[in-house]
Structures are given as C-alpha cells and as structure tokens.
Structure 1
Amino acid sequence: MAARLAGIARHARPRGPMEVLDHVAVTIDGGVAGDFRGTAKPGSKRKRQVTLIEAKDWVAAMRETGHDIAWQERRANLLVEDFDLPQRVGARLQIGERLILEITGECDPCSRMEEIAKGLKAALEPDWRGGALARVIEGGDIGVGDEIRMIE
C-alpha cells in the first residue's frame, strides 16, 4: 500500500474549532490556506507552518488512553497513513504533485491535549508520536488520497 495523505484540517484562530477538508492550497507565505499558524511573519524561520501526524500513532494513543477521539483534535494539519514521518530536522517530503515540506522538529504535545482527554499528552510524548513540524519549501494544492514520498 502506498503512503498517502489521509486527512487535512485547519483552524482559523488559536483554540478555534478544527475544520476538516478534502483538499487545500499550501503556500510558502501562508502554509495551509485558512490556518492561522502557517502565515510567515517577517524575519520568521517558518518552523511551524504545517503540522503532521501519523495515523498509526494517533490510533496507538487512543488505544493507550481508552478514548475514541477524531484525529483532528490533535490540532495537526495533515494526517499521513502508511508513512513513517522522518524524525530528522531537514528531511524533505513531497505530497501530491508539487508540495514539498521540510521537517523542522518534533511537534511536542502541549497541555491542551490533557484538556481534551486525560492521559493524552503522555500518550503522545514518546518517539515523536505527537507528530512533526514543517515549513513549506514549494507550495502546491493537495487532497486526501494524495501520495506522500521522501525526497531527501
């Protein structure tokens, strides 16, 4: 089975509701269109434009905590399936025809996860299970089902 994009989500403001999408534009200056975190500020290194999480990691966290919560409540932008996110700053991946992302670090789970479900923060802490942060290197339109592959 090929690695693929299994979900897309965004939130327009801090603590705002997550909106699940089938497709979206992702740009160098704005990250995921309509997501407040993606906008590149002057002088910014754009380390947190896009957040990604592995579907299997979310399932494992749900199993450990005994909860059944939708993946987007993790507050991540992209859910990847059958793909191991690289745990190395500088690694690059391509989603769809054009989008290129560069991993900038681990997406550490925050106290907000504990507000969502007891034990969730701890369940997301080991082995980058909370996901990865990325910056946009080349923008592109993406959709659920798009192929994901490593390019560096």
Structure 2
Amino acid sequence: MTSGRLAGIARHDRPRGPISTVDEVDVTVREGVHGDYRGALKPDGPRKRQVSLIAAEDWAAAMAEIGETPETLEWWHRRANLLVSGVTLPRRDGARIMIGDNLVIEVVQECDPCSRMEEIRPGLKAALTPEWRGGVLGRVLTDGTIKLGDEVRIEE
C-alpha cells in the first residue's frame, strides 16, 4: 500500500458554479462531498461519479506542458474535488483510496478532461489527457470526515 497526503478540497453547488475550497468536509455515500452537486444520490440509485480526485504531481506536469505553474493556474480550476500529493492515483477501476480515519472511495473510471478545460486555458485538455493525468472518478463506500493533511492510502 502506498500513501500520500490530502492537499486540497474543493466543491461547487451547481453545474458551472463557482468553486469553493475548504479545509475540512464530510464525504458520505448519500451525498458525496458535502456541498458538491455531483455526489448526491439519484432517486433511482447511487451515482457512479461521486468524487473526483487529481494528483498534485499530475497537475504540475500538465501545467509545465502548457507553460503555466500550479501557482498561476490553481488545481481547483480542474473542477476536481480532492487534490492528493505524494501518491500516484490508481489507474484501474475497483482500486480503493482511503483518506483520513474512515473514508473509502472506490475508483470507477478515469476522469477524462472535457471541453471546459479548453475554456479555462487553451491546451489544458490535451495536457490532462495522457496517462490518466486528469485524475480519477470514484464512488464513496464508507463515510468519513476529511481535512487537509490527512493521510491518503492506495489499495490496489
């Protein structure tokens, strides 16, 4: 098992809505990241895409490719919920990501960058495309409250 740290938490309450960053948040099976519109359960069952994660190292590589730095174009522009550092996110469905004391997220697929990335910065979509650089999407298996600095563990 490999481990890293939780370096960022972000959410948005509606499609194309403004991103807010927080230091701590509840993440549950019922609603995903509290306050984020994507994670809530649908009337017909659980959502496949509840939480999105990106690795700080992948974001930095994408920024270098387009001539930016992570400081000039911050990670939350990716519209991901969680930024992890010091660990490679799994590149296969079914892998588990544990954060803090209790949260367990199951990877369900690659987070393919969309055309919105081109609106943010030309070339960003292409820079996020190789080798799952855009991150992963997951579903919550076990509820947990997470905070910046929490340990992130990968179970392949």
Q: Deviations over 1:28-57 (max 9, x none)?
A: 010000000000102344221000000001
Percent of aligned pairs with the same residue? 60
Query: 2:53: which partner in 1?
Result: 52
Aligned match for 1:107, one of 75, 87, 111: 111
Q: Establish whether residue 94 from structure 1 lines up as the match of residue 94 from structure 2.
A: no
**Structure 1 CA distance for aligned equivalents of residues 5 and 99 of structure 2:** 8
Q: What stretches of structure 2 of length at least 5 have no aligned partner?
A: none
Structure 1 residue ranges, 4+ long, deviating more than 4 angstroms after superposition = none
**Structure 1 CA distance for aligned equivalents of residues 9 and 60 of structure 2:** 17
- Alpha-carbon distance, 1:71 to partner: 0.3
Q: Deviations over 1:80-135 (max 9, x none)?
A: 00011111101111100000000000000000000000100000000000000000
Query: 2:81: which partner in 1?
Result: 77
Deviates more, 1:65-74 or 1:39-48: 39-48
Q: Establish whether residue 61 from structure 1 lines up as the match of residue 62 from structure 2.
A: yes
Query: What SS is found at the alignment partner of 1:9?
Result: strand
Query: 2:143: which partner in 1?
Result: 139
**Structure 2 CA distance for aligned equivalents of residues 150 and 77 of structure 1:** 17
The number of residue pairs the alignment matches comes to: 152
Query: 2:25: which partner in 1?
Result: 24
**Structure 2 CA distance for aligned equivalents of residues 109 and 49 of structure 1:** 16
State TM-score, norm by structure 1.
Answer: 0.96
State TM-score, norm by structure 2.
Answer: 0.94
Residue type at the aligned position of 1:78: L
